[in-house]
Structure 1
Amino acid sequence: MKPGTKPKPTHLKLIEGNRGKRPLNRKEARIAPALPDPPPHLSADGLEEWNRVAGWLHRIGLLSEVDRAALAAYAQAYGRWVQAERAIAKMAQMDQLTGGLMIKTSNGNAIQNPLVGTANKAASDMMRYAAEFGMTPSARTRIETEAGAQDADPADRFFG
């Protein structure tokens, strides 16, 4: 596959308008929305995040059984990020100078705490997955769903 921007799903092109005037894929696979069960390997924090977002994603029509692994990866990255941040915060209580961001090696050199790298990588992964599901402000500007239309402000019909 060529590098570059990811192709936009046909249903989003129809909703937003086909600005590029490229042919639409009329044979694109359509998957029925569903609320999958969380996988058993999720951490406690990951499971909590799954439960927080899965129902919302299902209600707006952005979650199906086939999305289970992608949502699990998001939830697990969230859990890993939270766990690393908690560990850094605990270390910060004992290290007022660097707030747990630096550690000393066996040679006495100061280096970045490996937990900082873990937290950063998990946060990066989490945000990448979140964007796939429309869970960031910029990603939501590109998604419109039937559920979204029903949640519109009732005053819009009078002042809209």
Structure 2
Amino acid sequence: MNAKGMPKRPTGLSEQAVRIWKSLGPKLHELGLLAEIDASTFAVYCQAFGDWLQLTRYLNRLGPLKWYSTTENGYRQTIPELQVRDRAFQVLHKLSTRFGLDPSSRTGLGVVA
């Protein structure tokens, strides 16, 4: 833990994930939703959020018409970046409820933000 009681951030996070950790972590800690034991799970949340943001920006620049390709057999498939972004969102959504990051889960955790 650091001087303020915040859990120590694990190494190896992307720059975007570190920014999310620094921005959101202290708020969650202040609400009693982030303790040392939660550091690895919160790191996964931050990394998934960072990946989702980065891939969303990339896909927006690419444009929706380029999100699909056609195979040699004529089948239409999504590009890998879209699939990875969707998986990051699934992780993000699942972990957001554990940290009270939506009104419903805060109610269940008895937290007022």
Alpha-carbon distance in structure 2 between the residues aligned to 1:83 and 1:108: 31
TM-score (structure 2 length as normaliser): 0.84
2:100 matches 1:143: no
Match of 2:97 in 1: 131
Alpha-carbon distance in structure 2 between the residues aligned to 1:99 and 1:47: 32
2:70 matches 1:99: no
Alpha-carbon distance in structure 2 between the residues aligned to 1:80 and 1:138: 25
Alpha-carbon distance in structure 2 between the residues aligned to 1:71 and 1:61: 13
2:84 matches 1:118: yes
How many Å apart are 1:108 and its aligned residue? Answer: 7.2
TM-score (structure 1 length as normaliser): 0.61
Backbone CA RMSD of aligned residues = 2.0
2:33 matches 1:67: no
How many Å apart are 1:79 and its aligned residue? Answer: 1.1
Q: Deviations over 1:31-86 (max 9, x none)?
A: xxx41122221111111111121011111111111110010010011111112212
Alpha-carbon distance in structure 2 between the residues aligned to 1:118 and 1:137: 27
List gaps (5 residues or longer) in structure 2: none
List gaps (5 residues or longer) in structure 1: 1-33, 93-97, 152-160
Larger Rg: 1
One-letter code aligned to 2:102: T
**3-state SS of paired residue (2:65):** coil
One-letter code aligned to 1:115: E
- Aligned-residue identity in percent: 27
Query: Which of the pair is proportionally richer in helix?
Result: 2
| C-alpha spacing 1:41/1:61, structure 2 compared with 1 (3 Å) | same
